[in-house]
Amino acid sequence: MKLSIVIPCRDDAQVVACARSIDAPAEIVIALNGSTPTFVDALRRTLGDRVRLELLPRPNRSLAAERGIATASHDSVLLMDSDCVFTPGSIAAIDSALAAGDGDAEVFKGDIAFDCGATRLSALVARSRQRRMAGRLNAYKPPLAFSRRLRARLGGHFFDARLPWKEDADLDYRVRRAGIRIVPVPECLIRHAALSPLADLRSSFLYGVGAAIARHHTVPMHPPERSVLHSFERDGAEAAVYLVVSNGARAAGVAYGHARIRWSGGTWLDELAAR
């Protein structure tokens, strides 16, 4: 198997379970961005030679993913998140799709299932995320696989170092603009760990910050589909109320991002993108 699995991570201990769920002889590259020496040492002790660690000094998910892709040993790359695990046979399914597909014109997208967790609120978060993704085929990670030969068609990079958040939306936009086909691989299924409302709302806030940064750099993206009315019609009042709160967190992130850019005179952006 000539496949490299790239997992960006900062300090998420769940990356161990992620790496252990890999049931195929693929290369595993964990791109650690801003990780503490203690965390790095713990991963080396726990996972040993099964994985290769790439170390970046600053937290930046885009840079971590790009470094992992660039240093991978194989042309075919599968992107994964540290808080997800593969179901059996998923990697073999992606590898088969890559072998049968057109690496110069296609990317390959697996499915993701969100763990409901043990509380009503975590189940609400899982249902909200699952519903937002239902019926939408996109080039978001995880799980997303492609040939590195696509880099030239995507503007010379897969992930923009200037965008520490919203990096998936940027990649999805450029994939579609370039006319690259997104091929579904339903036999590849990963499971996302349960999320608390606080963790999910923090993500919404950071997506908002990322949207503000993208706007500052005039990076085009498709607008997010976060209609409260559609949520109410589809899932009821509870889900709609939660989406109102989530949209509020995103709006707060946008406002925060614009304020930080303005107050810093742009130096904050330089710090975020520093290699």
pLDDT in tens, 155-184: 999 999 999 999 999 999 999 999 999 999
Contact 30, 54 (CB under 8 A): yes
Contact 210, 166 (CB under 8 A): yes
C-alpha–C-alpha distance, residues 20 and 147, integer Å: 24
Query: pLDDT band at residue 55, thresholds of 50, 70 and 90?
Result: very high
Classify residue 246: in a domain, yes or no.
no
For 145, the enclosing helix (H) or strand (E) is: strand 144-147
Classify residue 144: in a domain, yes or no.
yes
Sign of the alpha-carbon torsion through 249, 254, 145, 47: negative
- For residue 275, pLDDT over 60 is answered with no
The pLDDT of residue 33 is 94
Residue 260 in tokens: 């930080």
User: Model confidence over 8-18: pLDDT tens digits?
Assistant: 999 999 999 99
Cis amide linkage into residue 184, ω under 30° from 0: no
Classify residue 76: in a domain, yes or no.
yes
CATH classification at residue 137? 3.90.550.10
The total of structural domains in the chain comes to 1
Classify residue 233: in a domain, yes or no.
no
Q: Find the mean pLDDT for residues 268-272.
A: 86
Classify residue 243: in a domain, yes or no.
no
Domain hosting 77: range is 3-196
Which residues, 6 or more positions from 237, have their beta carbon under 8 angstroms from its beta carbon? none
- For residue 264, pLDDT over 60 is answered with yes
Classify residue 102: in a domain, yes or no.
yes
Classify residue 103: in a domain, yes or no.
yes
Q: Which strand ranges, in their side-by-side order, compose the sheet holding 84-86? A: 52-56, 27-33, 3-9, 76-79, 144-147, 106-114, 181-192, 84-86
For 3, the enclosing helix (H) or strand (E) is: strand 3-9
User: Model confidence over 182-229: pLDDT tens digits?
Assistant: 999 999 999 999 999 999 999 999 999 999 999 999 999 988 777 787
The pLDDT of residue 57 is 92
Classify residue 248: in a domain, yes or no.
no
Q: Tell me the pTM.
A: 0.94
Contact 207, 247 (CB under 8 A): no
C-alpha–C-alpha distance, residues 22 and 142, integer Å: 14
